[in-house]
Structure 1
């Protein structure tokens, strides 16, 4: 966007003054902080030098040698963020975090359930340092319950929730998403919940603890087949290239003439 003085800016300013501690990892955890930073929040990415964000791994932007500062995914999710290296397994690292939490509005994490509380940074401990803090935790299936200890990444969640069963062609075995769709899905859910919690705090003065389940967030994307099964008794299967009923979308065969959909002056489609 461009500001009133003509200078180009890479963020909005609706969250100017909001401070975020981002302990999120990989895509799911980091994209929440990415969205908040794009809205103008001051986001500090926290990671340990001995345990860097997995998003730093993989093929670099330039060359073929591993470089933790050259991974495209990390560049995408870490944009507009500041960086701080802390080893929370040391008392010195924990002391630094305890000293900066009182200045933070939001803390984001997607560690294993119970990992941060064991280090002394559960929600109740954070509230003692900042009573109105907003804490967002991402896990597969929540902080407690029979599935709380399960670990999963985005592609796994597509299978657990049944989304993968809808991808493929009729009469054939499902192909699956082939993509970690659950990661940006839960990341965007988390960002929206963070905005909601900020508004609630503005009205009530209270902070919040938000336990975000990747499983539940993904099920929310399956509203159409779930309701179809509940109301009509139809069990969805692979959809092929057919669009979802009611959605103006699909895979369309192209012709040999120069007309294209959306082109001004294009001939109307034959009926």
Structure 2
């Protein structure tokens, strides 16, 4: 069966990390988009430290989870704490149709890369923001991953037998919805 190329000709700058964000951009890449993953050269993506590891050897380039969630992508490491790193990231965005990110609103704002900031370099930009608790509201500055969100949303309680404590889904189920 042929791989779908419905997104061929679309270029994505992917700032997202860990679960839901890398999966979204992986699906875009798997269907023809050119995805440029922009990672921190200072703070490695946490999924790089997640087992299983190739040859049972832990290492930043050996995580099976990282490889699975980030296949079909190109990658560049930048220091986004430095103005030159941010400038390079914005030059990449200038040539992209879509930006994905999964940080709290504070992170992109701190780098000067909010939707409004990035539209200055690419006016027709589409931005997919996936912060755990949204871009606004009282919980928007809280961070976490799929397991935290499934507990906050009450999904964990769906796994309990009557009268017993919830056991959770075993995977970060909300990352895959």
TM-score (norm 2): 0.93
1:142-185: CA deviations, max 9, x gaps? 11211112222111112111111111323322222222111122
Of structures 1 and 2, the one scoring higher in RCO (CA 8 A, sep 6+) is 2
Q: 1:171 aligns with which of 147, 158, 163?
A: 163
Q: 2:116 aligns with which of 109, 124, 128?
A: 124
Residue 35 of structure 1 deviates from its aligned partner by 0.4
Q: Which sections of structure 1, spanning at least 5 residues, go unmatched?
A: 3-10, 186-271
- Which secondary structure does the structure 1 equivalent of 2:130 belong to? strand
- Which secondary structure does the structure 2 equivalent of 1:115 belong to? helix
* Aligned-partner Cα distance in 2 for 1:72–1:27: 13
Match for residue 32 of structure 2? Answer: 40
1:214-243: CA deviations, max 9, x gaps? xxxxxxxxxxxxxxxxxxxxxxxxxxxxxx
1:53 aligns with 2:45: yes
Match for residue 72 of structure 1? Answer: 64
- Which secondary structure does the structure 1 equivalent of 2:105 belong to? coil
Match for residue 17 of structure 1? Answer: 9
CA RMSD of aligned residues (A): 1.5
Residue 63 of structure 1 deviates from its aligned partner by 3.0
- Which secondary structure does the structure 2 equivalent of 1:63 belong to? helix
* Aligned-partner Cα distance in 1 for 2:97–2:107: 21
Residue 99 of structure 1 deviates from its aligned partner by 1.6
1:1-271 alignment runs, 5 A limit: 1-2=1-2, 11-185=3-177
* Aligned-partner Cα distance in 2 for 1:58–1:144: 30
Contact 2:19 2:145 in 1 (8 A): no
- Which secondary structure does the structure 2 equivalent of 1:114 belong to? helix
Aligned pair in 2 of structure 1 residues 161, 83: CA closer, same or farther (>3 Å)? Answer: same
- Which secondary structure does the structure 1 equivalent of 2:93 belong to? helix
Q: Which moved more, 1:17-26 or 1:98-107?
A: 98-107
* Aligned-partner Cα distance in 1 for 2:7–2:113: 25
- Considering only CA atoms, is the larger Rg found in Structure 1 or Structure 2? 1
Residue 60 of structure 1 deviates from its aligned partner by 4.3
* Aligned-partner Cα distance in 2 for 1:50–1:119: 14
Contact 1:60 1:67 in 2 (8 A): no
Q: Which sections of structure 2, spanning at least 5 residues, go unmatched?
A: none
TM-score (norm 1): 0.62
